[in-house]
Amino acid sequence: MIKKIITLAAFWLASVSAFSQEKGYQIWIKDDQNSVDQKTKDKLVTAFYNIYPWFAAADGYRTKRNADLKFSKNETADIKAKAGEIIVNEDWIKGKSQKKIEKQLRRAFTNNWLSFSTQKKKGYELTFISKDPFLNPQLKQNLIDTYFEIYPTLVKNFNKQSTHNVLFVVDTAYKAVAEASGNRILFSAGYLKAHPTDIDVVTHETMHIVQGYGYSAGPVWLTEGIADYVRYQYGVDNVGSKWSLPAFNEKQNYQNSYRITARFFAWLEQNVKPGKVAALDKQLRAHEYTAQSWISLTGKSIDQLWEAYAKNPDQIELKYSNKAAKG
């Protein structure tokens, strides 16, 4: 009796729906009518694993990792797909090659994006995805131009092993400013709309790609301080976005991160020895950074250096990039 139930259950699973999982992504194929043969379903599963992880990574914020697939005669002429849902025309799919299925599935997913383009320049590539129907075209162009202007310089000066292939995603569901993970930078559509001149967010975020420290390489204030120091040093239009390093005050500390730490780094470069930031960046990437690094690089501890800075914080000449002045 038990055996019979198991057999029935197995039969039911095989005929009605099939479940498959790989690398954290899952697909459920539902086919109550058994309208599509198993060989075709296998092709669809393969296509799913070849396309969906790419789509999900590029799609941005909180994209579903599971998808349901069903067959239909009238909902689409070929394939219709969005995050978590795929509909396949059961007549169209018959006899289609693996290649043809994948091409159509990829196209169906990219239809979710309001714009999707890839550009190449001097060995560097940028894929730009916008999910915002109101993204200002000029702003979009400025972000792209900043990437091609700044990123190759950062790679050359800090980490030649960095990827040459970067993805920008402008997402309406993402509410912070921007973040980098792997080779992808996620931008908040709302932030860009409210701060259209802040194009050097690209400089800060692409520096995070170049940094590529991985986990537990060093404190977050150091990573963010370096990224903002780089924005100060290499940014294309800090004047245009009214971005500057805040003046020193007694309440500050090097662990305040971002611009406060960045100003301290600018002071170190001018008053102690140039090249320290690049040396720290290298050590962090090699997972060789310790509190001792400051002493071996400058002869002083970080606290001693901060103390020296606090005594004489205005002994610094700050220069900001200004696109308008360049003409």
The nearest distance, CB 144 to Zn ion, in angstroms, is 20
The dihedral through the CA atoms of 61, 257, 160, 177 has a sign that is: positive
Q: Minimal distance in Å, beta carbon 258 to Zn ion?
A: 8
User: Which span sits near Zn ion by CB under 5 A: 59-67, 90-98, 163-171, 218-226?
Assistant: 218-226
Say how many residues touch Zn ion, by CB under 5 A. 2
The SS3 call for residue 185 is strand
**Stretch near Zn ion under the rule CB under 5 A, chosen from 5-13, 119-127, 165-173, 217-225:** 217-225
Cβ 228 to Zn ion, closest distance in Å?
8
Q: Which is nearer to Zn ion, 143 or 227 (CB)?
A: 227
Which of helix, strand or coil describes residue 7?
A: helix
Q: Judge whether 285 and 213 are in contact, CB under 8 Å.
A: yes
Cβ at position 56, least distance to Zn ion in Å: 23
- DSSP annotation of 314 reads T
Shortest Å distance, C-beta 207 to Zn ion? 8
Q: Which of residues 28-57 bind Zn ion (CB under 5 A)?
A: none
CB of 208 to Zn ion, least distance (A): 6
What element of type H or E holds 66?
Answer: strand 66-72
186 binds Zn ion (CB under 5 A): no
81 or 227, CB closer to Zn ion?
227
For residue 164, the minimal CB distance to Zn ion (Å) is: 21
Cα torsion angle, 324, 228, 206, 195, sign: negative
N- to C-terminal Cα separation, the chain: 84
Q: How is 89-125 classified by DSSP, letter by letter?
A: ETTTTTT--HHHHHHHHHHHHHTTSSEEEEEEETTEE
Give pairs for 71-78: CB < 8 Å, separation 24+: 71/31, 71/33, 71/35, 71/36, 78/104, 78/108
Window of 101-109, 227-235, 272-280, 299-307 that interacts with Zn ion by CB under 5 A = 227-235
Instruction: Pick the closer one to Zn ion by CB: 49 or 221.
Output: 221
User: CB–CB of 159/211 below 8 Å?
Assistant: yes
Pairing type for strands 115-121 and 66-72 reads unpaired
DSSP 291: T
Nearest distance, CB of residue 52 and Zn ion, angstroms: 29
Nearer to Zn ion, 129 or 227 (CB): 227
Contact region for Zn ion (CB under 5 A) — 86-94, 129-137, 221-229, 288-296? 221-229
Options 126, 135, 227, 305; binder of Zn ion; rule CB under 5 A: 227
Q: Which region among 4-12, 20-28, 220-228, 246-254 touches Zn ion (by CB under 5 A)?
A: 220-228
Q: Residue 248 gets which letter from DSSP?
A: P
Q: Which is nearer to Zn ion, 200 or 224 (CB)?
A: 224
For Zn ion, the binding residues (CB under 5 A) are: 224, 227
